């Protein structure tokens, strides 16, 4: 590989940078530095880390503008009760690094931890095997993703936060780009912790919401919607969308759902939605629709994650979504481009 090929060598460096980010997120470095600079030994003591190793990670993080070296002066040491180390370096948090605090908006820390989570990391490492066999190495090892998350509450919370983080660029200005009905009920099918439902309800005060998800997710959704002050306008129910979805809705949102499943499963979910919806209702599919050219696109990145984690899950083109809808007795009526490569596909009963 020629050394002049920045993209190739950059991709190799990305692994070290991601590992440094993961270390920062797991050790809570941003939280420890939130109240001011600390010497490396003191930071290591608070984070439960080995100081000489942490120092090397901090050097990479400084190169990424997440922390910044500062003079380890007497004041810093006195404030922090650091070990007396005249040579100790010290670091402070930069503005960018502040995004990794656990109380920062956007769930950046959770998202990094989720992508470095045991199963997620394994899935990407094993992509070559998945491609050899055509079967997800993740599923062979851990079983289906949502069963895995049901067994691991901490990972499940990280996953819900990660989904909320991912949805932010997709849903910014959503209600300006798409005209939701002024009144009625929106059912967020497998809505995670309710972040998208909350965005839509805040912008459309005449709408009510129903959120459905798996048993191990709904408490997280109830808490998050209550924190948004939306408990009165929402109902949260546990269920399995392969069995049925809540009936009587006017709008059914399926955000980042169909890309987890193969065509047969997608048709089952869409058919359940069609039979549950009010006459004149609509289905909204929020997904990153694959372009039909060779340019870099978020959909191509996410598609490899789907390949690694699900058997049959995939990003799809607009034509492929139209075909799935048709098989479920629905017809595509509109496609609205959202931010960051995502689209909102509207469908109605045929």
Ligand X SMILES: C[S@@+](CC[C@H](N)C(=O)[O-])C[C@H]1O[C@@H](n2cnc3c(N)ncnc32)[C@H](O)[C@@H]1O
Closest CA to 254 of 245, 201, 106: 245
Residue 86's Cβ-side half-sphere holds a number of Cα atoms within 13 Å equal to 0
Least gap, CB of 157 to ligand X (angstroms)? 12
**What residue ranges bind ligand X (CB under 6 A)?**
146, 163, 167, 190-192, 196, 213-214, 217, 240-242, 255-257, 260
Pairing, β 251-255 against β 342-349: unpaired
Which residue out of 50, 195, 259, 297 is catalytically annotated?
Answer: 259
Judged by CB, which is closer to ligand X: 167, or 200? 167
What's the rounded Cα separation, in Å, for the pair 123 and 130?
9
Residues 6+ apart with CB under 8 A from 258: 266, 269, 270, 285, 287, 316, 321, 324
Least gap, CB of 63 to ligand X (angstroms)? 32
What's the rounded Cα separation, in Å, for the pair 74 and 82?
10
Judged by CB, which is closer to ligand X: 59, or 305? 305
Least gap, CB of 111 to ligand X (angstroms)? 12
Can you tell me whether residue 43 is helix, strand or coil? helix
Give how far the C-alpha of residue 56 lies from the chain's centroid of Cα atoms, to the nearest Å. 29
Least gap, CB of 190 to ligand X (angstroms)? 3
What's the rounded Cα separation, in Å, for the pair 298 and 289?
9
Least gap, CB of 193 to ligand X (angstroms)? 8
What's the rounded Cα separation, in Å, for the pair 278 and 93?
52
Q: Is 297 a catalytic residue?
A: no
| Contact between residue 207 and residue 200 where contact means Cβ atoms under 8 Å apart | yes
Q: Using alpha carbons, list the distances in angstroms from residue 227 to 101, 188, 195, 233, 292.
A: 20, 18, 11, 13, 41
Q: Could you tell me the strand order of the sheet in which 184-189 lies?
A: 234-238, 207-213, 184-189, 251-255, 282-288, 342-349, 330-337
Least gap, CB of 171 to ligand X (angstroms)? 9
Residue numbers annotated as active site = 259
């Amino acid at each position: 590989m020629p050394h002049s090929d920045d993209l190739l060598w950059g991709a190799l460096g990305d692994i070290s940078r991601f590992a440094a980010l993961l270390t920062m997120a797991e050790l809570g470095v941003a939280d420890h530095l939130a109240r001011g600079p600390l010497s490396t030994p003191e930071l290591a003591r608070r984070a439960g880390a080995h100081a000489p190793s942490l120092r090397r990670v901090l050097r990479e993080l400084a190169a990424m503008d997440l922390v910044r070296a500062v003079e380890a002066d007497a004041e810093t040491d006195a404030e922090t009760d650091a070990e007396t180390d005249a040579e100790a370096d010290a670091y402070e948090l930069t503005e960018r690094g502040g995004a990794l605090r656990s109380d920062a908006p956007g769930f950046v820390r959770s998202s990094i931890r989720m992508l470095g989570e045991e199963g997620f990391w394994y899935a990407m490492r094993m992509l070559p095997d998945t491609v050899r066999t055509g079967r997800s190495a993740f599923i062979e090892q851990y079983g289906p993703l949502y069963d895995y998350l049901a067994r691991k509450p901490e990972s499940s919370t990280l996953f819900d936060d990660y989904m909320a983080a991912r949805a932010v660029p997709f849903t910014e200005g959503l209600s300006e780009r798409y005209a939701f009905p002024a009144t009625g009920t929106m059912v967020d099918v497998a809505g995670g912790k309710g972040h998208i439902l909350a965005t839509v309800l805040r912008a459309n005060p005449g709408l009510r919401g129903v959120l459905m998800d798996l048993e191990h997710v709904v408490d997280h959704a109830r808490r998050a919607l209550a924190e948004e002050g939306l408990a009165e306008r929402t109902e949260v129910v546990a269920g399995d969308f392969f069995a049925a979805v809540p009936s009587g809705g006017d709008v059914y949102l399926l955000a980042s759902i169909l890309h987890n499943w193969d065509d047969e499963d997608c048709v089952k979910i869409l058919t359940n939605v069609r039979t549950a919806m009010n006459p004149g209702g609509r289905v909204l599919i929020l997904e990153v629709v694959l372009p039909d050219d060779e340019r870099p696109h978020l959909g191509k990145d996410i598609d490899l994650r789907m390949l690694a984690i699900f058997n049959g899950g995939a990003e799809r083109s607009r034509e492929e979504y139209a075909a799935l809808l048709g098989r479920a007795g629905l017809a595509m009526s509109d496609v609205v481009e959202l931010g960051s490569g995502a689209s909102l596909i509207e469908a109605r009963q045929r």
